[in-house]
Amino acid sequence: MDTIKNRLINRIIRTIVYSDNRKKDIRVTYHFDREALKDKPIILLSDHSAVKNFSNIFADYFYVSDNIIPVIGNVMDYAPKIGPFLKNYPHVSKKMYVTDFKAAVQMVRYIKKGKSLLLFPEGTHSFCGMTHPVSPALGGFLKKFRIDVVLASTKGAYLSTPFYSKEAKSGPVEVDFFHLFTGEDLKEMDETEIYDRFMTHFEYNDFRWNAEHRYSYTGEKANAAGIEKILYKCPCCHREGFITTGNNRIICGNCGNSVTMDDTYALYPSTEKDTLPFGRVDEWFLSQRQELAEEIRKNAGFLLKMNVELNVLNEDEKSMFKPVGKGEVTISRKGVTYSGTEEGEAVSFTLPISSMTGSSNQYDIYMVMYRDNDTIAFDCSSEKPGMIVKACGAIEELHALSDSQWEEALRRVYPLL
């Protein structure tokens, strides 16, 4: 698509999304002189604390430059509504949690043409309103380009559209744009310094942030509704898969402990006989993750089994994936093994753990992976709530056992017990 047509379409989108954003409580601050960066090619890096970050960032940064190419997970080309639109819209499709040379070449080409890139370095949206690990390889990536880098940092975005419910809630979202590096900075700094400066400004935690601000977020459903999709382990009896939610209560079906969540997402024991070791959702989530990391490090025979449907990308634009078989997935130090059927035939294959740092979780149903060059997805919806979040975490932790750089990235976000 030529630049003029591209810019015209961008301006139309910007106007629609921007005016929609203005109806909500989105507070945008530019911490730099917009004129100085106007229309300059930049790399715009954004957190992915919520599904809606994309529209917040995209529309708002357009007021500095409309010459920006988004880098998007390759499965989005197959998403209903978005996929058909992307067919005519310049973007880079990137495979997630694996090396994607084709996408890297496209990014270099766009930068050479004087375009800007929008990237979400976490590779997937945040499960729990806190930073998802970012590979330290980002330092080397930015150093290669040596152009201005702008960071878009959000607060409250997760709380306004939590991953576990996807319901849009009314409440404030802050979007801050920082001019994080000049081309000259990147030339002088080494890769580790670049990564450290990036992470220091990038790291976020919406639950911790709002424990201080105490803003209310309200929607049709209570804020607790659906939270068993990320909080799968009871903090009292330590059993998994028994958490349920009703109105603003989070209840363990095994030991009966009950916790109440208010409009600010703060947690309290529901009655005097109930207990809660944490005051915040992120602390609960972190403790689950720490216990999982501990188990994986100590137990060489660690296994996580799930009943799944095997899916492939769907070309007919009605849904992202289509099922082609049924079976069982086993996650272990060896990798992710599928045993079951595919197109009516019995099959078994293993995707080595060394080939992926993690798995992206689409719609809280699918774990996306790559078999050779093909995208496949395991539909985990017949499993108990939260098991897909645990499985994605297990893959990240298992990969880190033999990848010290990835281990460093995980420990920065999820320190060990």
Q: Tell me which residues touch Zn ion (CB under 5 A).
A: 234, 236-237, 252, 254-255
CB atoms within 10 A of CB 106: 19
Closest Cα to residue 310, out of 367, 250, 244?
367
Nearer to Zn ion, 68 or 243 (CB): 243
Nearer to Zn ion, 194 or 276 (CB): 276
CB of 236 to Zn ion, least distance (A): 5
Q: Which tokens hold the place of 266?
A: 């703060």
Q: Which tokens hold the place of 233?
A: 């382990």
Spatial distance between the Cα atoms of 176 and 48, rounded to a whole number of angstroms: 14
Spatial distance between the Cα atoms of 44 and 373, rounded to a whole number of angstroms: 28
Q: Which residues contact 84 (CB under 8 A, 6 or more apart)?
A: 317
CB of 379 to Zn ion, least distance (A): 28
Closest Cα to residue 159, out of 204, 206, 203?
206
Nearer to Zn ion, 17 or 236 (CB): 236
CB of 216 to Zn ion, least distance (A): 29
CB of 235 to Zn ion, least distance (A): 8
Nearer to Zn ion, 51 or 236 (CB): 236
Nearer to Zn ion, 9 or 255 (CB): 255
Q: Which tokens hold the place of 407?
A: 């281990």
Q: Which residues contact 260 (CB under 8 A, 6 or more apart)?
A: 224, 248, 249, 250, 267, 268, 269, 270
Q: Which tokens hold the place of 29?
A: 């601050």
Nearer to Zn ion, 234 or 336 (CB): 234
Spatial distance between the Cα atoms of 341 and 344, rounded to a whole number of angstroms: 6
Nearer to Zn ion, 66 or 274 (CB): 274
Rg of the chain over all Cα atoms, to the nearest angstrom: 21
Spatial distance between the Cα atoms of 410 and 135, rounded to a whole number of angstroms: 9
Long-range pairs for 208-214: beta carbons < 8 A, 24 or more residues apart: 208/130, 208/280, 208/282, 209/155, 209/156, 210/156, 210/159, 210/264, 210/265, 211/264, 211/266, 211/279, 211/280, 214/264, 214/266
CB of 256 to Zn ion, least distance (A): 7
CB of 251 to Zn ion, least distance (A): 9
CB of 234 to Zn ion, least distance (A): 3
Q: Which tokens hold the place of 245?
A: 């939610």
CB atoms within 10 A of CB 344: 7
Nearer to Zn ion, 36 or 237 (CB): 237
CB of 279 to Zn ion, least distance (A): 18
Nearer to Zn ion, 239 or 333 (CB): 239
Q: Which residues contact 102 (CB under 8 A, 6 or more apart)?
A: none
CB of 376 to Zn ion, least distance (A): 35
Nearer to Zn ion, 114 or 253 (CB): 253
DSSP state of 174: E
Instruction: Give the C-alpha distances (Å, rounded to integers) separating 296 from 229, 258, 300, 397.
Output: 21, 29, 7, 7
Nearer to Zn ion, 233 or 289 (CB): 233
CB 302 within 8 A of CB 282: no
CB of 390 to Zn ion, least distance (A): 16
CB of 227 to Zn ion, least distance (A): 15
Q: What are phi and psi of 304, to 5 degrees?
A: -130, 120
